[in-house]
Amino acid sequence: METKALQGVRILDMTHVQAGPSATQLMAWLGADVIKVEMPGRGDITRSQLRDVPNADSLYFTMLNSNKRSLTLNMKTPEGKALLEDLVQRCDVLIENFGPGVLARAGFDWEHLQDLNPRLVYASIKGFGPGPYADCKAYENVAQCMGGSASTTGDAEGVPTVTGAQIGDSGTGIHCVVGILAALLHREHTGRGQRVEVAMQDAVLNLCRVKLRDQQRLDNGPLREYPNQEFGDHVPRAGNASGGGQPGAALRCAPGGPNDYVYVIIQPQGWEPLMRLCGREDLITNPDYATPEARLKHLADCFAVIEKWTSKVSKFDVMAALNEVDVPCGPILSMKDLIEDQSLYQRGYLVELEHPQRGNYVQLGCPITMSASPVQVERSPLLGEHTDEILEWLGRTPAQISAMKLAGAV
């Protein structure tokens, strides 16, 4: 019998924008009942940000809020506060990413939350941990810049560069999910909840750990696998050089479009088949190229030889040829390539959903598959779509619900 992995777990989602919603969406996909709390009349600010269809929820919002229920609630009103207290008593997890101290100033500090529900797991996502930056605001790119990503991304002679992957927001959200699930498991043994705190700067640095590794390696000399000619006292930007121990580079392919590239990694055992494909069998035993140590001195020449071949072939044909001889590679796929990739739809990772305001849109599915707990991806909720349903579940009568609406509490 199939059951949802997080069935029975109820989450009070007081998050907004991306870091928090990415966490709660993942848990909603896995079967948790996620109640998204939003301000009446406005909702999560991303509903209206980057809007491409007039008077409809933006894709920014829909992409981060699948499988949730939306409740409008104004906790600045007495009725709203009372309602929030009821929800805290009935939920397993409260997660928020307000600015530091916002929830406490509204009367919901950790002590009060524990009094209301000793089993509650209270998760917070902030920009920074305790210390000099604790009260500073953070956004995706700020987290990347202060977590070590930007300083190590880009060309050696260029400016620090942020990555297109949302490692500051969604990366932190995933870290938060791990903390929440660990706290829920711990509660099974102790009967009590606990606080879970995740800082965006910390999550980014955790994802940049190989660069922190290299910072310490610099004490013993240059980083030989890097293509850089000079090293200072910090890890340099190194373009598309591999972060592992094997050299890699993005090489141009036919017909020469902006994303007609393939990333190729030269493993020790891959040199011979690569040279045979390139028609350069003479370099297989050439002492300047025959060993990984020798090639480190000629990496630019090595990749130039390979690119002379790849530039005449499509990136997908390069991939097919290199996979035949077990050489790691990957074509650079544009977002157009990906959204048109039918294999992603066939395995349920891209899903086309119908939305009552904007029509059909493509939603990413759950990146985790579980043999006994398949995920059914649902559209994001309209603002307040489930307010009456949730208030009835909390025992409010139709008259009380009408009065709360008139008072601006919901």
Question: How far is Cα 122 from Cα 95, in angstroms, rounded to an integer?
Answer: 6
Residue 255 has pLDDT above 90, yes or no: yes
Query: In 3D, which of 364, 343, 266, 338 has the Cα closest to residue 306?
Result: 266
Q: Is 169 a catalytic residue?
A: yes
Percent of the chain with pLDDT over 70: 99
DSSP string, 312-355: TSBHHHHHHHHHHTT--EEE---HHHHHT-HHHHHTTSEEEEEE
| Secondary structure class of 299 (helix, strand, coil) | helix
CB 377 within 8 A of CB 67: yes
Q: Helix 398-406 crosses helix 78-90 at what angle (to 10 degrees)? A: 130
Q: Which two tokens stand for residue 259?
A: 């994303």
For 338-391, the pLDDT digits (tens) are 999 999 999 999 999 999 999 999 999 999 999 999 999 999 999 999 999 999
Question: How far is Cα 252 from Cα 249, in angstroms, rounded to an integer?
Answer: 10
The structural domains of the chain, ordered by start, are 10-206+341-406 (3.40.50.10540), 247-327 (3.30.1540.10)
Q: Which two tokens stand for residue 89?
A: 């008593």
Residue 243 has pLDDT above 70, yes or no: no
Strands 261-265 and 350-355: unpaired
For 199-236, the pLDDT digits (tens) are 999 999 999 999 999 999 999 999 988 888 889 999 99
Question: How far is Cα 368 from Cα 374, in angstroms, rounded to an integer?
Answer: 9
pLDDT band at 277 (very low <50, low <70, confident <90, very high): very high
Question: How far is Cα 15 from Cα 31, in angstroms, rounded to an integer?
Answer: 18
The terminus-to-terminus CA distance of the chain in angstroms comes to: 38
For 109-133, the pLDDT digits (tens) are 999 999 999 999 999 999 999 999 9
Annotated active-site residue in 169, 202, 214, 260: 169
Report CA 119 to chain centroid distance, whole Å: 28
Task: State mean pLDDT over 306-310.
Answer: 98
Long-range contacts of 311-315 (CB under 8 A, 24+ apart): 311/251, 311/252, 311/253, 311/254, 311/256, 312/254, 313/253, 313/254, 314/253, 314/254, 314/255, 314/260, 315/253, 315/260, 315/261, 315/262
CB 134 within 8 A of CB 128: yes
pLDDT band at 241 (very low <50, low <70, confident <90, very high): confident
For 23-47, the pLDDT digits (tens) are 999 999 999 999 999 999 999 999 9
